[in-house]
Structure 1
Amino acid sequence: MALLLCGVQFLTRIPVPPQPGFSVDWINRSARYFPLVGQFVGLLAALVLLLAANLWSGWIAGLLALLTATLITGALHEDGLADTADGLGGGRDAAHRLAIMKDSRIGAYGVLALGFGTGLKLLSLASLSPWVAAFSLIAAHGVARAATVTVMHVLPYAGDEASAKISTRTRPPGVGEVFVALAFCAWPLLLLNSANAMLGIAICAAVTIVMALTARRLIGGQRGDILGAVEQLCEAGFLLGCAAHLKAAVF
């Protein structure tokens, strides 16, 4: 429970009670619960979507759901996506890319990444019925956080360790912790059409692999901004899979 609350505190703005005996290693150890935290964020966003769908169109309901998730997380992952797009897109070499990623200002690449990412998520949600959109949101947030845990496991930290939000002196998530995270992210998939869920997973896997290989080649590994970008891209990719016109959904 202490590790789960640590994950909630790290990934969201939700207040949690102080945890006696806290250690910086808890953040890496809590990574196994990141999908559960993501599903809770997705659940709150899904509730807003279902309530809003009774009053407004799917466009407005989807936008309010995305706004809810952003407020809960404090735009943590969106900030990472913008910084990653600016750094990887505009840097000359690894050192320059890392310097850009640490700059709080946003550039053209960051604006475009946020715009396209949010647009894809909104379009996907608006094309689904309210209940399917709600279940898709819960699943997308869990799968996207599991993808970040996987990247934390396979890539070393890149750049200045002093600026890391997660201590680089502690052991990253191990194989067992990655499998636990993947197991936690699986249950909402049962609420979706299997073909769409599998397509969403395939898109997320492709996005994660491409981002991991790109980050390793351009900056030598992962950092918080890369993890945020992976989360956002996987979230959008999974929702795209759910919105694809395959076999009719159950709900």
Structure 2
Amino acid sequence: MAEAESENAPTAPPVWPGWLAATAACIRFYSRLPVPELPGETAHMAPDFRLLPRALPFAALLIALPGALVLLGAGLAGLSAPLAAALAVTVLVVTTGAFHEDGLADSADGLFGGWTPERRLEIMKDSRIGSYGTLALGLSLLLRVTAMAAILDGAGAWAGAAAVLIAAAWSRVEGIRVIATLAPARPDGASAAVGRPERAVLPVAYGLSAGIGLVLGVASALPPAGLLIGVGLSALASGWLMRAARRLIGGQTGDIAGACQQLSEITIYLGLAAVLGWGGR
């Protein structure tokens, strides 16, 4: 009887981790940056995404900082905008170990290469890359480099570096929205294992990302219209991908979240580049 009552007792809500510990855990999960184990934590435990993503905007800033600094340095040194952008994107990819790019490639192969949900999920789990994944990666790199170069040409090195940081924070929260909104497509997959964010986490993460965008945008004189258009395009791209994932595989996976991050990052750059190209500040 006691055992039955214990089984039916409500689960205690998780304790909110400290901001420093949550940020460190996010950096470890999303990048290859070395983060020392903090007092009282086990660094190699699987992350608990029920609460952890509230600190993701701060972690995203640190993860993208090397790429932003390379773009800033290359721009101030007088390198051509395309070369500076290519160097920055290279650093961004190396820093994350192509974490999000892998998700984009697997999602493209799976969503467009299979005919049934089961087959699509099987393709997404395959480590080999197909035609759709190759095209998606190539287009992603091309769009990021060219849009970043346009921002650099139109607004300068400081604004370009700020755009990298703004896009890093907002795009990763968009990836978390996928996990928070859709049910896992695989009950035994990685996205199911880490847990779904609590209801309060997503507004906090979006609020922090918006604050980061406002501060950096004003400080670097990025066009507000470009940021608004970029965020709007990001929402449209994320919404399209989530609808496609729900229809084609029955929910989300970690790969879908990674693909969402990539689409969001690209669209934020495109919004800024478009407005700067129109001559708006």
Shorter-chain TM range is over 0.9
Q: Name stretches of at least 5 consecutive residues in structure 1 with no aligned partner.
A: none
Alignment of 1:1-251 (within 5 A): 1-19=20-38, 20-22=40-42, 24=46, 26-53=48-75, 54-128=77-151, 129-161=156-188, 163-164=189-190, 167=193, 170=195, 172-190=196-214, 191=217, 192-245=222-275, 246=278, 248-249=280-281
Query: Which protein shows a greater Rg?
Result: 2
Deviations 1:67-88 (CA, angstroms, capped at 9, x unpaired): 1111111100000000000000
**Structure with larger RCO (C-alpha < 8 A, sep 6+):** 1
Q: Deviations over 1:172-230 (max 9, x none)?
A: 11221001110121123221321001000000000111011110111111111000000
Q: Which amino acid aligns with 2:232?
A: A
Taking every aligned residue pair, what percent have the same amino acid on both sides? 37
Distance 1:102 1:58 in 2: 37
Confirm or deny: 8 A CA contact 2:186 2:192 kept in the other structure.
no
Q: How far did residue 35 of structure 1 move? A: 2.0
Structure 1 position 160, deviation (Å): 4.8
Farther-moved stretch of structure 1 (151-160 vs 220-229) = 151-160
- Note the alpha carbon deviations across 1:60-107, whole angstroms, 9 max, x for none: 100111011111111000000000000001011100000000101101
Q: Kindly indicate whether the alpha-carbon contact (under 8 Å) linking 2:85 and 2:148 is maintained by their aligned counterparts in 1.
A: yes
What TM-score does the superposition give when structure 2 sets the normalisation length? Answer: 0.83
Q: 1 CA distance for matches of 2:236 and 2:280? A: 24
Q: Aligned partners of 2:263 and 2:96: how far apart in 1?
A: 16
CA contact (8 A) 2:184 2:192 kept: no
* Aligned alpha-carbon RMSD (Å): 1.6
Quick check: 2:179–2:191 contact (8 Å CA) kept in 1?
no
Counterparts of 1:84 and 1:201, CA distance in 2: 22
Structure 2, gaps ≥5 residues long:
1-19
Distance in 2 between the 1:30 and 1:58 partners?
36
Q: Residue 38 of structure 1 contacts residue 145 of structure 1 at CA under 8 Å; is this kept in 2?
A: yes
Question: Aligned partners of 1:79, 1:179: CA distance in 2, in Å?
Answer: 27
Q: For residue 11 of structure 1, what is the amino acid of its counterpart?
A: Y
TM-score, normalising length: structure 1 = 0.92
Cα distance in 1 between the residues matched to 2:279 and 2:245: 35
Paired with 2:165 and 2:140, the residues of 1 have a C-alpha distance of 17
8 Å Cα contact 1:157-1:222 kept in structure 2: yes
